[in-house]
Amino acid sequence: MNRKHILTMMTAVLGLTVSATSLAWLEAGGQRDEALHLKPDHENGIEVYEVCAGCHLTEGWGTKDGTFPQLAGQHKEVLVKQLADIREGNRDNPTMYPFALPESIGGAQALMDVVTYTAKLPMNPDNGKGEWETGSSEFEQGKKLYADNCTECHDKNGEGIAEKFYPKIQGQHYNYMMRQFEWIRDGKRRNANPDMVKQIKGFSDKDMQMVINYVSRIPVPKEDLAPSKDWLNPDYD
Amino acid sequence: MIYSKIKTATAMAVALVVLSPAALALDGAELYKTKTCSTCHGKDGKSPILPSYPKVAGQNEAYTLQQMKDIKSGTRANGGSAAMKGVMHLVSDEEIAALAKFISTMQP
């Protein structure tokens, strides 16, 4: 009787945990869905992005050391999901939190304006990379890990899948990806996709370094890149 | 007299050579922008992004210095300091000192 009771409780707790995880990845409704149905306003996008530029820079390139990720060229669906998740307390990011609030950015319309603007910015041709050169043994091992584990969602060259909210990871800074990967693997990133958590559970730290080293070195298509690493966003002076 | 002048000039030259690279690198006003202080505390140091974040303009140098050090090391972890800890690895001890000095000179 007692044991049965405990078992029922354990099942219930387990069920709760599982559903909480799935919900945390892609809860229906909220400002993400609302925003994506709106028509973006370019000028307002520029205005709203100014506050983001305080950390992610006016070019949207973040910092090479990975403190701040590159946002330029990211799918607007991914940007709006992450913004809404941080705003709604679904992804912990104390540094960014105040900037995701409606008081700082505005409502769903402003979200759509700013993510559409950011998604169209040309990407940084000089992103932060891992230590292993293209062609090295670690690079090749990372490439294999990528092919075996990552392409279904992040696509062949780290393009991601916009309509499924899977991020573009090509051109992203190595240290930023390392931090997020580790948090996803170890359960610290609450809005992680549960399929990814499962997929990378067995990754050692070395596997993680090798696969991310590879991703950081996937060439970004030329048409998505800024003409040089000294390019300055002309929308700001 | 002449000797003393030469000595002063030499001392000044030495001081310039020794100090100028550091002095050039450590422009508090510039650091205040590039280390993202202004993003949260406002360009003027008195218009923080959230009402629960402090105005810092004109704060005592020694106090600001200590808070920055403590937030960086994790000794201070209360209030909104989690938000600031996320960027403090970007700031060296020398830069913290230059920032504390600059912030103390901002118009409150």
Domain boundaries, given as residue ranges, for chain A: 30-119, 137-219
* pLDDT tens, position by position, A91-132: 999 999 999 998 888 899 999 999 999 999 999 999 999 999
- So what's the pLDDT on residue A237? 83
- The pLDDT value recorded for residue A119 is 98
pLDDT score, position A12: 46
Give the ranges where A62-193 is alpha helix by DSSP (H): 76-87, 97-100, 108-119, 137-149, 151-154, 174-185
B44 to chain A, closest Cα gap in Å? 14
Q: Token digits for B3?
A: 């000797």
Nearest-Cα distance to chain A for B54, in Å, is 13
pLDDT at residue A16, as a whole number: 42
How far the first Cα of chain A sits from its last, in Å, is 72
Q: Which amino acid is at A61?
A: W
Residue-level pLDDT at A132: 98
Third-level CATH fold of A137-219: Cytochrome Bc1 Complex; Chain D, domain 2 (1.10.760)
Determine contact, residues A35/A105, Cβ cutoff 8 Å.
Answer: no
| Tens of pLDDT, residues A137-192 | 999 999 999 999 999 999 999 999 999 999 999 999 999 999 999 999 999 999 99
Which two tokens mark A148? 């075996």
| Cross-chain CB nearest to A94 (options B38, B83, B90) | B83
Q: How confident is the model at residue A1 (pLDDT cuts 50, 70, 90)?
A: very low
Q: Is B86 on the interface with A (CB under 8 A)?
A: yes
B18 reaches A (C-beta below 8 A)? no
The tokens of B69 are what?
């050090």
Give B1's pLDDT tier (boundaries 50, 70, 90). Answer: very low
The pair of structure tokens assigned to A14 is 């387990």
Higher pLDDT, A13 or A54: A54
Q: CA dist A207 to A45, A111, A142, A215, B79, Å?
A: 39, 36, 7, 12, 37
Taking phi over 0 as left and psi of -120 to 50 as alpha, with beta for the rest, A171 belongs to: left
Domains A30-119 and A137-219 share a fold: yes
**Across-strand partners of A123?**
A225
CA A65, CA A176: separation in Å to the nearest integer? 8
Q: Kindly state whether B49 is in contact with chain A, defined as any CB-CB distance less than 8 angstroms.
A: yes
Q: What percent of chain A has pLDDT over 90?
A: 81
User: What is the distance between the alpha carbons of residues A96 and A85, in angstroms, rounded to a whole number?
Assistant: 11
**What is the domain partition of chain B in residue ranges?**
27-105
**B6 pLDDT higher than 70:** no
Average pLDDT over residues B30-54: 95
Look at B38 and A95 and tell me if their CB atoms are within 8 Å. no
C-beta atoms of B39 and A97 within 8 A: no
* Interface contact B83-A55, CB threshold 8 A: no
Check whether B104 has a pLDDT greater than 50: yes
**CB contacts, 8 Å: A101 with chain B:** 50
Work out the pLDDT band at B2, boundaries 50, 70, 90: low
- pLDDT score recorded for residue A18: 42
The CATH superfamily assigned to A30-119 is: Cytochrome c-like domain (1.10.760.10)
Q: Is B87 touching A (CB cutoff 8 A)?
A: yes
Instruction: Determine contact, residues B42/B49, Cβ cutoff 8 Å.
Output: yes
ipTM of the complex: 0.78
CATH number of B27-105: 1.10.760.10
Q: Which two tokens stand for residue B1?
A: 């007299």
| pLDDT tens, residue by residue, A8-41 | 454 444 444 444 445 578 776 677 888 999 999 9
Could you tell me the two tokens for B64?
Answer: 């600001």
Q: Which residues of A touch B (CB under 8 A)?
A: 51, 54-55, 65, 67, 94-95, 97-99, 101, 104
The verdict on B50 touching A (C-beta cutoff 8 Å) is yes
Does the CB of B97 have a partner CB in chain A at under 8 Å? Answer: no
Q: How confident is the model at residue B26 (pLDDT cuts 50, 70, 90)?
A: confident
Residue to mutate among A55, A86, A91, A95, with most B CBs inside 10 A, is A95
Number of neighbours of residue A223 by Cβ within 10 angstroms: 6
Beta bridge partners of A161: A166
